[in-house]
Amino acid sequence: MNQPVTNRELFVTFTKIALSGFGGVLPWIRRAVVEKKHWLTAGEFNSLIGICQLVPGPNVVNLAICIGARFTGVRGSISAVLGMMTAPVALVILIAYLYDHYGRLPEIQGLLRGICAVGIGLIASTGFKMLKNELTDWPMLATIAVCILASAVLHLSLLTVVAITLPLGLIAGWIKAKK
The predicted-structure confidence for 26-76, as pLDDT tens digits, reads as follows 989 999 999 999 999 998 998 899 889 888 889 999 999 999 999 999 999
The per-residue b/e assignment along 111-129, b for 16 or more CB within 10 angstroms, e otherwise, is eeeeeeeeeeebeeebeeb
Instruction: Give the per-residue pLDDT at 22.
Output: 66
Final residue in a domain of this structure, among 114, 130, 146 = 130
- Residues 116 and 154 occupy one common structural domain: no
Q: What range does the domain containing 147 cover?
A: 134-179
What are the distances in angstroms from CA 59 to CA 24, 51, 62, 94, 161? 10, 9, 5, 24, 18
Count structural domains, the chain.
2
Residue 168 contacts residue 135 (beta carbons within 8 Å) = no
- Residues 95 and 20 occupy one common structural domain: yes
- Residues 164 and 95 occupy one common structural domain: no
- Residues 115 and 58 occupy one common structural domain: yes
- Residues 123 and 138 occupy one common structural domain: no
CA distance 63 to 51: 9
- Residues 98 and 158 occupy one common structural domain: no
Q: To 10 degrees, what angle do helices 158-178 and 42-54 make?
A: 150
- Residues 92 and 167 occupy one common structural domain: no
CA distance 81 to 85: 6
Instruction: Give the per-residue pLDDT at 59.
Output: 92
Final residue in a domain of this structure, among 105, 130, 155 = 130
Predicted TM-score (pTM) of the model is 0.61
- Residues 138 and 110 occupy one common structural domain: no
Residue 79: pLDDT band with limits 50, 70, 90: very high
In a domain, 58, yes or no: yes
- Residues 177 and 161 occupy one common structural domain: yes
